[in-house]
Amino acid sequence: MTKSTKPGQIPAPEAVEASIKKAVDRALSRNIPGLALQQANLDLDVGQTPKEVVYTRDSMRLYHYHAMTPEIYRVPVLIVMSPVARGYILDLAKGQSFIEYLLLQGYDVYLMDWVPPRREHAHLGMRDFALTLLDESIAQVQQDSGEQEVSLIGYCMGGLLAVMNAAIHHDGPIKNLVCFTTPVNAEGMPLYKAWADSDAFDIDRIVDALGIIPGDMVNASIQALRPLQKQANQMQLLNNVENDAFVKASLRFDRWATEQLPIPGELARDMVRDFLRGNLLVKNEYRLDDKLIELGKIHVPFLHVAAEYDHIVPTAASSDLIGLVGSKDKSEIVVRGGHVSLVAGGNAVYRLWPQLDNWLSLRST
Amino acid sequence: MTDEKMNPVALWRDWFVKSEKAWSQALTEMMGDEKFSKGMGRYMQEALHTHRMFSEGMSQYLANLNLPSRSDVLDISDRLGQIEDTLAAIQVELREQRIQIARTTAPHAGDSPSNSARPAKPARTKRPPTSAK
């Protein structure tokens, strides 16, 4: 290490030389171009917790993770991933994996995950996702685990599917319901609401023309919520280029953020018409299969987790959920952090996940 | 790093990172404006129209050049997806067969678990730690 230089003082030539030599040595040891190489290596190390596929239908995959403890809680946990995002964010890397954390605490974990939908899946709408596919997944978990009761954990739009299902099957097999940053009030998402409300935005024409809404379009709409964040992340990466742990974490996040899944056209149509324009869920007027979704009918123990600085699902879009749900046993945790840091942030393992474990463990026997 | 503190480019990057949220918020508010929303909606419609026009025109042109069109690439993507579906279904079937075999050859009480074709399932008897409340 070179001798430290006080702020404002010009560094000595030998210090500059040593600094350049060190940077060159590090770059060489990483085999230039270091960032590209790191990126290539990272392709292999996401979603590495051992699992088996239990059930598959359309663009849905139901996985069962191998238990990591000799004894597990009686009630299995089914995680419902958002159908517009890749599920590996929940299992990003060893030591930074929400799924691995649950397994180590002794839960029997299943994941309802998604592969990119194809043109033949364009007809899948909210009803298919929230009822058909989720019902079938719950039935498969029941059969595979031998337990009748199942705890649901929904992330983002996965939470939306979970609350819709729980409201319709309020006398069903759901034992506990946990929602991570789940949007229920479109008024809390002003940009998307403004776009959807505009009479020039013709969702029917878009869906009819494209069938499947491309992932790039989904990505662009998410980036519009914070247009300069990507550039800021790149600059932060450059400022921390010598910190290997930072580089790895940043590249993993960046990879996930740019790999948004395409959306089946009918699901996009349902979201724009019923959720964004109509804001029907918060008004208790949303119908699936002619069944009215009344969140007040949910009576199972309920936990909502929100992030204070979430720009994708701001707390204004999710905070009504706790009041709407009819459960007597209900709690909310609002933590500092963003949309993704709840399930993949480095600090979640110390701050948020233990709180979730405390809550869920007492209700999983 | 001390050297980085002297680097004006690094300083500028730091400033950008710190002020990004405010800039982003200003841009997002601008995009939520009614005029912008209308403009974006119209742009989308025009883009779709242009896309359709080009697709129709280009597909014949590409066919004449013996080159694949976007539609051909999507066909291949769909077929690959169908193959992946089939592989996933085979994995499910294999898993079910393995479970079935494990059941039929399940060790009798007192037998070693290693006789089983599948590791014994962990007992569902875990209790919450006493500190949880």
* Residue among A213, A178, A339, A198 nearest A276 (CA): A198
Question: Closest Cα of chain A to B65: distance in Å?
Answer: 26
**Cβ proximity of B49 and A205 under 8 Å:** no
Taking the C-alpha atoms of residue A134 and residue A138, their distance in angstroms, rounded to an integer, is 6
Taking the C-alpha atoms of residue B130 and residue B133, their distance in angstroms, rounded to an integer, is 8
Phi, psi of A331 (to 5 degrees): -145, 160
Taking the C-alpha atoms of residue A114 and residue A57, their distance in angstroms, rounded to an integer, is 10
Say if the Cβ atoms of B34 and A194 lie within 8 Å.
Answer: yes
**Cβ proximity of A126 and A140 under 8 Å:** no
Tell me which DSSP letter residue A281 carries.
Answer: T
Tell me which DSSP letter residue A271 carries.
Answer: I
* Residue whose pair of structure tokens reads 């990057």 in the numeric block: B13
**Cβ proximity of A129 and A267 under 8 Å:** yes
Q: Is B96 part of any domain?
A: yes
Tell me which DSSP letter residue A112 carries.
Answer: E
Nearest CA in chain A to B131: A358
Taking the C-alpha atoms of residue A306 and residue A325, their distance in angstroms, rounded to an integer, is 15
Structure tokens at A42: 């990272």
Structure tokens at A119: 């043109």
Question: Closest Cα of chain A to B17: distance in Å?
Answer: 5
Candidates A62, A140, A235: best to mutate against B (most CBs of B within 10 A) is: A235
Domains of chain A: which residue ranges? 40-361
Q: Is residue A228 within 8 angstroms of chain B, CB to CB?
A: yes
What is the number of CB-based contacts under 8 A between chain A and chain B? 151
Q: Is B74 part of any domain?
A: yes
Say if the Cβ atoms of B95 and A54 lie within 8 Å.
Answer: yes
Question: Closest Cα of chain A to B106: distance in Å?
Answer: 17
Could you write out the DSSP letters of every residue in B22-64? HHHHHHHHHHTSHHHHHHHHHHHHHHHHHHHHHHHHHHHHHHH
Q: Is B45 part of any domain?
A: no
pLDDT digits (tens, 9 = 90+) for B67-101: 988 888 989 999 999 999 999 999 999 999 998 89
Taking the C-alpha atoms of residue B116 and residue B95, their distance in angstroms, rounded to an integer, is 14
What's residue A111's pLDDT?
97
Q: B42: which chain A residues are within 8 Å (Cβ-Cβ)?
A: 200
**Cβ proximity of A264 and A125 under 8 Å:** yes
Q: Does domain A40-361 have CATH number 3.40.605.10?
A: no
Say if the Cβ atoms of B125 and A74 lie within 8 Å.
Answer: yes
pTM for the predicted model, two decimal places = 0.84
DSSP bridge pairs for A304: A179, A332
Taking the C-alpha atoms of residue A48 and residue A196, their distance in angstroms, rounded to an integer, is 38
Q: Is B83 part of any domain?
A: yes
pLDDT in tens, chain A (365 residues): 444 556 556 677 777 777 777 766 766 555 444 555 555 555 547 788 999 999 999 999 999 999 999 999 999 999 999 999 999 999 988 888 999 999 999 999 999 999 999 999 999 999 999 999 999 999 999 999 999 999 999 999 999 999 999 999 998 899 999 999 999 999 998 888 888 888 778 899 899 988 999 888 888 888 888 888 888 888 888 888 777 778 887 888 888 888 889 999 999 999 999 999 999 999 999 999 889 999 999 999 999 999 988 888 898 999 999 999 999 999 999 988 888 888 887 778 888 899 999 999 999 99
Structure tokens at A315: 């707390």
Question: Closest Cα of chain B to A291: distance in Å?
Answer: 31
Q: How many domains does chain B have?
A: 1
Of B2, B4, B88, the CB nearest to A4: B2
Most confidently modeled range among A326-330, B19-23, B59-63? A326-330
Q: Is B82 part of any domain?
A: yes
* Residue among B113, B131, B114, B123 nearest A108 (CA): B123
As a whole number of Å, the end-to-end CA separation of chain A is 55
**Cβ proximity of A218 and A262 under 8 Å:** yes
Angle between helices A244-258 and A229-239 (to 10 degrees): 160
Q: Is residue A194 within 8 angstroms of chain B, CB to CB?
A: yes
Say if the Cβ atoms of B27 and A227 lie within 8 Å.
Answer: yes
Question: Closest Cα of chain B to A288: distance in Å?
Answer: 27
Q: Which domain holds residue B97?
A: 68-104
Q: Is residue A205 within 8 angstroms of chain B, CB to CB?
A: yes
Nearest CA in chain A to B132: A358
Taking the C-alpha atoms of residue A144 and residue A53, their distance in angstroms, rounded to an integer, is 11
